[in-house]
Chains A and B, each alone.
Chain A
Amino acid sequence: MIFTSWGSNVRRVVVTGVGVLAATGKEPESFINNLIEGRSGIRRIQQFDPSALSVQIAAEIPDYKGTDYFPAKRLDLIDRFTEFGLIAAKQAVESSGLEVSDEERPRFGVMMGAGMGGARTYELGYCSLFAKGATRVHPFTIPKSMHNAATSQICMEYGAQGPSLATSTACSSAGHAIGEAFRHIKFNLADVMLAGGSESPVTFGIMRFWESVRVMATGNGDPSHACRPFSADREGLVIGEGAAVLVLEELERATHRGAKIYGEIAGYGLSSDAGHITQPTVDGPARAIRMALDEAGINPEDIDYINAHGTGTRLNDATETLVVKKVFGEHARKLAISSTKSMHGHAMGATAALELAATLLAMDRGVIPPTANYTTPDPECDLDYVPNQAREAPFCAALSNSFAFGGLNAVLLVRKFQ
């Protein structure tokens, strides 16, 4: 029980702003509405002609144009994943009514996850070098593509001069970013943080790379039903894109200014499987969940809802079910579990932020979003996955799981602010 040694001399951290850009909604309101309605954002790929791919579907931001959000000069210097991060950060800051004085800036930071970073920019650079025989590439290639580009651009936009970093732990990236931001406030290293993740992995090259791993759902003929987490007929994951950013704030600062509080981040667990580079273990994720529970100081029975990692692959969903059973015992059957990836897709380095945003917005509404496209029970996945229909169920404490390729796990525990 490492957390008891920290004593009670730690600060509480609440979420006071939410920004979301996803296939299922370009702001938080439509995002959560669509998830509750069980509407999938997965469609045939629009950004390029996917005819040559065997997987031709993804969860893209519908009708997205950078020019709708940024002047041309700004767009020259930012990759699509940074655009997404800036848009979500703007929504989060505006929704929170956050104002940070010059004196506070050294205690105001930004932490963003990015799994693939500016992969699109790299791809264009390599294409001109190797395919077109160019002898030089665009000088903005590095500043656009570096993984910390979104973090740094958000810092510059809002004058955040405090502890800031970018995390890259594949599918857990944003979970780690939010968790680290939470701990920075909790342990008095910062007062306000913008934390989340952004990703734009829908490029021809990356889709090809993922195809080769053989974990992708095909479903080209019926994209919106392609991703079926926990269902016996699940075929794999569907790549998504987007960003979510949360405003994390020390409790007293938030209450003093009368900010709306979406919920409290009460625990964060992280662990490494140290097992296999792609196959998840049961013990690693279980340890991350236990750490989050320990930190929050609550019993497993107090958890009402888990927003699952739930990728829709054979292996993840069966293993995650074992993880939940291992940690929660009998309570595993009383928990509501859902995978919103069935609708917003697997947005890689952004996905944990989208899922924590979904969890907080759902807690605010008192409605649990469903796992869409659930058709057939699987003996290996025999818990309550909230199939297809949202559930009116006020809940007080929830987990958001992220179990990444590479075995680096991140679990966030949120509870209703009281």
Chain B
Amino acid sequence: MDVSQKVMEIIAREQHLDPGVIRIDSTFEQLGIDSLDGVNILFALEEEFKIDIPDAVAQNMKSVQQVVDSLTRVLEGKDISDLVAMAKGETQPAAN
């Protein structure tokens, strides 16, 4: 399964947007996704992937790429303590 494809599909569905306008580097702001829309998308992702996305991780999701990256790590069961720490303001985001 291509996570990024699925994420873009879900964002399009939940925002009632044409899938063509959503790109991997789109930010939520560019797509007109506000904070309430954001929690709705997270809910849809949790339902789709049968996972729980911790609040701390959710706070870092402000673009399609960030959603895909965070989601991939949650799905692969990787350690996400750095994301949690970052959400709490304990560390700065690492450069890509």
A interface with B by C-beta (< 8 Å): 71-73, 76-77, 136, 138-140, 143
Contacts and interface: CB of A to CB of B under 8 A. Distances in A.
Contact of B39 (A71, A76, A139): A139
Contact of A71 (B14, B16, B42, B46): B16
B94 interface: no
A76 B39 CA distance: 13
Interface in B1-44: 14-16, 36, 39-40, 42-43
A76 B36 CA distance: 12
Contact of B40 (A71, A136, A140): A140
B36 A143 contact: yes
Nearest to B43: A139
Contacts of A140: 36, 40
Nearest to A140: B40
20 contacts: A71-B16, A72-B16, A73-B15, A73-B16, A76-B14, A76-B16, A76-B40, A77-B36, A136-B43, A136-B46, A138-B40, A138-B43, A139-B36, A139-B39, A139-B40, A139-B42, A139-B43, A140-B36, A140-B40, A143-B36
Contacts of B36: 77, 139-140, 143
In this complex, the member of A73, A139, A140, A143 whose beta carbon has the largest number of chain B beta carbons within 10 angstroms is A139
A259 B36 CA distance: 39
The 4 closest A-B pairs by CB, nearest first: A139-B39, A73-B16, A72-B16, A139-B43
A137 to B, nearest CB: 8
B22 to A, nearest CB: 15
Nearest to B38: A139
The SS class assigned to the B binding surface is: helix
The SS class assigned to the A binding surface is: loop
A153 to B, nearest CB: 13
Contacts of B39: 139
A56 to B, nearest CB: 34
B45 to A, nearest CB: 12
A73 B42 CA distance: 17
A340 to B, nearest CB: 39
A138 to B, nearest CB: 6
Contacts of B14: 76
A73 B34 CA distance: 13
A139 B42 CA distance: 9
Contacts of A136: 43, 46
A282 B43 CA distance: 52
Nearest to A74: B16
Contacts of A76: 14, 16, 40
Given A76-B16, A139-B42, 9 more contacts: A73-B15, A73-B16, A76-B14, A136-B46, A138-B43, A139-B36, A139-B40, A140-B36, A143-B36
A140 B35 CA distance: 12
A77 B36 CA distance: 10
Contacts of A143: 36
A353 to B, nearest CB: 29
A136 B46 CA distance: 9
Interface string B56-96: 00000000000000000000000000000000000000000
A140 B34 CA distance: 13
Contacts of B16: 71-73, 76
A77 to B, nearest CB: 8
A72 B18 CA distance: 13
A71 B15 CA distance: 11
B79 to A, nearest CB: 23
